Amino acid sequence: MDATGLRKLADRAEAEIAAAPDEAALEALRVRYVGRRDGEITLALKLTPTLATGDRPAYGAAGNAARERVEAALDRRAAELRSSTLERDLRPGGEDLSLPPRRVRVGRYHPITQTIREVSRIFAGMGFETVEGPEVEWDYYAFEALNIPADHPARDKFSTLWVSTDTAQRMLLRPHTSPMQIRVMEKRRPPVRVLVPGRCFRYEATDATHESVFFQYEGLAIDEQLSMADLKGVLYSFARQLFGGDRKIRFRPDYFPFTEPSAEIAFDCFACDGTGVTNDGKCRTCGGAAWIEAAGCGMVHPAALQRVGYDPAQHQGFAFGGGIERLAMLLTGTPDIRLFHQNDMRYLGSL
Ligand code: PHE
């Protein structure tokens, strides 16, 4: 074979490669022409050293050129075959593109987190800043500063979980978010408007409406002219924004050592519109009571104001505190508080 023969060989190979119908045929042609052991061009190049010295450069150059042409043709055809396979797959009637893709599971916030965010958003609209406080608290903030000294009967209400420490002050898992009333007032001067959502702990048996770990939201407003009317207005607006409609609010006298006067708040039931009955009979949401107890509240006790260095003659305010789970149960129609914390995705995913 001479240089001309090599060029003809390359011409033939190029033509065959351009016509290769699929990748298998292309691979067979690659082996046939430029295969490492006995491809036609490979073998022809191996003959170079056997030629007369003067013929070798021209022959070798023609051989290398032939191999490069064939390799380029192989790459070109491989690319063509790849894109036409793709086109065929995308053509209607080609591959079955109607097969549903694997579902992507999109996460979302836990109903308790959603409720906390919604409550915070509503109060933010009325000027309340959301702040958080420690879940492990000193006796002083949890009780003492809230007018609940060690021998006060109100301590019994809170079924406390104490933490062992070597400190003189006793430490506990906070049983309510009210300690933040004191912590916030210690740090700020009036006007104060804060909302404190947070986890609380009580040593209690669990049932459909009680858990030993639960969430509360605490509100505190201190200013120069605040009265019980402001407290009512704020909570009324909150109830309407959260539950919608023309919600009514019921205040009944209650007792808390750190507010005076104190009240218990209830909203008229949104499920039966405050009637206690629905089409199926007794309303299941409020148990026929027509009212849903929501929170404790009152005017911040002057002794608490004095303790943080406020002058009760100049500044007064109100506080309120309630359970987040209670709101979440109403908003999602969840009949048992434990469903939130068992974290069974079959239930949480259905909300
Ligand atoms: N901290 C009280 C409780 O958990 C509720 C409350 C908060 C009452 C603020 C009055 C003012 O029972």
- DSSP character string of 312-323: TTT-EEEEEEEE
Q: Over the stretch 264-313, which tens digit does the pLDDT of each residue have?
A: 999 888 788 889 998 989 987 788 999 888 899 999 999 999 999 999 99
Cβ of 316 below 6 Å from ligand 1: no
- Spatial contact of 42 and 30, defined as CB atoms under 8 Å apart: no
Cβ of 334 below 6 Å from ligand 1: no
| Per-residue pLDDT, 273 | 85
Average pLDDT value over all residues in the chain: 91
Q: How far is the CA of 322 from the centre of ligand 1 (A)?
A: 7
Confidence band for 94, pLDDT divided at 50, 70 and 90: low
| Per-residue pLDDT, 79 | 93
Q: How far apart are CA 197 and CA 267, in angstroms?
A: 20
Atom of ligand 1 nearest to the CA of 322: 5
Cβ of 198 below 6 Å from ligand 1: no
Q: How far is CA 48 from the centre of its chain?
A: 72
**Residue that wins the pLDDT comparison between 136 and 108:** 136
Q: Which residue's CA is minimally distant from atom 7 of ligand 1?
A: 321
pLDDT at residue 319 tops 70:
yes
Assigned token pair, 293: 């107890």
- Portion of the chain with pLDDT greater than 90, in percent: 64
Q: How far apart are CA 209 and CA 282, in angstroms?
A: 19
Q: How far is the CA of 323 from the centre of ligand 1 (A)?
A: 10
How far from 213 is each of 101, 136, 344, CA to CA, in Å?
Answer: 41, 13, 17
pLDDT at residue 240 tops 80:
yes
| Per-residue pLDDT, 271 | 81
Q: Over the stretch 168-193, which tens digit does the pLDDT of each residue have?
A: 889 999 999 999 999 999 999 999 99
Q: How far is CA 76 from the centre of its chain?
A: 50
Q: Which residue's CA is minimally distant from atom 4 of ligand 1?
A: 176
Q: Please give the full DSSP string across 284-305, using - where no structure is assigned.
A: TTTTTSSEEEEEEEEEEPHHHH
